[in-house]
Amino acid sequence: DTAVSQTPKYLVTQMGNDKSIKCEQNLGHDTMYWYKQDSKKFLKIMFSYNNKELIINETVPNRFSPKSPDKAHLNLHINSLELGDSAVYFCASSQDYPSYEQYFGPGTRLTVT
C-alpha cells in the first residue's frame, strides 16, 4: 500500500509542451505539498494546500498551476515547459499544517528537451 503516490515516475517532453503530474495520498492527511529538487539537490517548496485550500505559494512562474480536487489529491500542471523546468518534483503530505513530519512520494523525474 503506497502512502503517497505520483504519476508518472518519469516524464520526458519537449520545450513548449504542457504536462501534468498527479499525486495521491491515502494517509488521511489534510495538507499536501509540491517540491522541486534541482540538479544541485536543493529541495524547494512550491505550493502547499490544506484542506484543498492554497496556503503556500512560493515564487514560482505562473506556468505552474496546482489543483486540489479533494484532500487526497494534489495535481501539478505545467504550461509551456522550459529547459530549466527539468528537475525531480516531489509531492508530500502531512497530518495537518504546520507540520514538520512530511511523507514524500517517490518523485517525478521531468526532463525537458
Partner 1 sequence: RKEVEQDPGPFNVPEGATVAFNCTYSNSASQSFFWYRQDCRKEPKLLMSVYSSGNEDGRFTAQLNRASQYISLLIRDSKLSDSATYLCVVNQRNYQLIWGAGTKLIIKP
- Complete DSSP assignment for 47-109: EEEETTEEEEE-S--TTEEEEEEETTEEEEEE-S--GGG-EEEEEEEESSSS-S--EE---EE
Q: Between 23 and 81, whose beta carbon lies closer to partner 1?
A: 23
Shortest distance, position 65 Cβ to partner 1, whole Å: 20
Q: Which is nearer to partner 1, 1 or 41 (CB)?
A: 41
Residues 6+ apart with CB under 8 A from 40: none
Q: Which stretch binds partner 1 (CB under 8 A): 18-26, 69-77, 79-87, 97-105?
A: 97-105
Closest distance of CB 79 from partner 1, Å: 25
User: What is the contact surface with partner 1 in residues (CB under 8 A)?
Assistant: 40-45, 56, 90, 97-98, 100-102, 104-107
